Amino acid sequence: MSADNLVIANLFLLLFLGLADNQMMAALLPAFVKSLHVSIEKAGLLVAIYSLGAAAAAFVSGSLSDVYGRRWFLQGGMALFAVASCLSWRSTTLAELAGARALTGLAAGTLSTCTVAFAGDWFAYEVRGRAIGLISSAYFVAPVAGVPAAALIADRFGWQRTFLAIAAVAALATFASLTLPKETRKTIATSHPWRRSLGAFRGFFARRDTFAALGIAFLVSGGLVGFITYIGQWLNNGFALSTTMIGLIFAYGGGMAVLGAPLGGMLSDRYGKRAVSLASSLVMALAVAAVPFLGWGAALLVAFGMVSLAAAFRQGPLTALMTEMVPAAERGTFIALRNISSQIGIGATVSVGGILYGRSGYGAVTGLCATMTALVSVLLFTHIMEPMPSQE
């Protein structure tokens, strides 16, 4: 296996495990409520605790990886992930599980930040779209393959065994990560890493393009997750679809996304990351806006498939574009700030979307999400230029 393929395989596996672990929590919440004898509100705190840990880890690992390198953060992050999963497996109370999930969030936040930064360091910009498209297809493989497998294990053997299975795979991934090639970039020696990171943060907010990129991250994540969060309820209320049928629709959308992610990356290397990201966002905005006006049938499935395809098509090019907007010495810090902006976008949009759904229905939610997605194209057109490949 070539060094490039080895990097893609490792980074895909690391990202996939973190995403599958996070996304399976929605399926496991009812089991937590029943097993731990807690309310759904208290069980939901497990997701919030995880998110806080992930945000904190993104800030720390992204900043420090600029100074000390990404490779050992990835290896240490996956080892911590395996240990945290074992602690989840052995948890018998909500407090114990919450502590384990906080550690899992720290590990996952490190992995998601340093995976993108490592890919940005390793792959030349001319081929980075394809590479990150393949790696980021983990975002869409996780709900198609990882989450159903986790749910099946939980149904048959209990939710604790799900975490045991994840811990076992994570242990294998930890050993696999030892094969990651040594980094091609030079680490930076400094006695004041935090002062340096805070200076970089100020610079990102002062620059017109990087500030816009942080806004794009907010809009991209908020627009997609807001649309996805409430569509199941709308399908059930409006068309009386069963949970199983809704799950099959999501699996179909995930399959479309798995096809779209690598293709979008490859085309962006040929036609430009900015152009493919802009066009994909416009297509997605139109499809999102159309969904609530369609009845149950082929047209609705086509529209939902287009949303999934366009979101995946955009993922690799947009990520590759952002990794080239700052010098390699500041890449981890910038990706960390981007991830934090994404998390804020998700939280804000889902919160506002819940109010809109309750007052005006799903059409109001999709109107908000379509507007946010269209604004991504506007910001790409007005504030972002296709970067010149660095000569580092």
- Tens of pLDDT, residues 195-229: 666 667 677 887 899 999 999 999 998 899 888 87
Taking the C-alpha atoms of residue 236 and residue 376, their distance in angstroms, rounded to an integer, is 30
pLDDT tens per residue across span 38-55: 876 677 678 778 878 888
Tell me: pLDDT of 378 over 90.
yes
Contacts of the segment 59-62: beta carbons below 8 A, 24+ positions apart:
59/336, 59/337, 59/340, 60/110, 61/109, 61/110, 61/113, 61/114, 61/332, 61/336, 62/113, 62/114, 62/117, 62/332, 62/333, 62/334, 62/335, 62/336, 62/337, 62/339
Q: What pLDDT score does 193 carry?
A: 61
- Look at residue 185 in the predicted model and tell me its pLDDT: 58
Q: What percent of the chain has pLDDT over 70?
A: 92
Q: Cα–chain-centroid distance for residue 79?
A: 20
Q: Give residue-wise pLDDT tens across range 288-347.
A: 999 999 989 999 999 999 999 999 899 889 998 988 888 878 888 888 888 888 878 887
Task: Enumerate domains of the chain plus CATH numbers.
Answer: 3-178 (1.20.1250.20), 199-383 (1.20.1250.20)
Residue type, 128: R
Q: Give the C-alpha separation, 118 to 261, whole Å.
A: 19
Q: What average pLDDT does the structure give for the chain?
A: 86
CB–CB of 110/61 below 8 Å?
yes
Whether residue 269 is predicted with pLDDT greater than 80 in this model: the reply is: yes
Q: Does residue 275 surpass a pLDDT of 80?
A: yes
**Mean pLDDT along residues 138-150:** 78
Place of tokens 């179909």: 252
% of the chain at pLDDT higher than 90: 36
Q: With 80 as the cut, is the pLDDT of residue 98 above it? A: yes
pLDDT score at 392: 46
pLDDT bracket for residue 391 (50, 70, 90): very low
pLDDT level of residue 363 (50, 70, 90 thresholds)? very high
Instruction: Kindly state the average pLDDT of the residues 360-388.
Output: 93
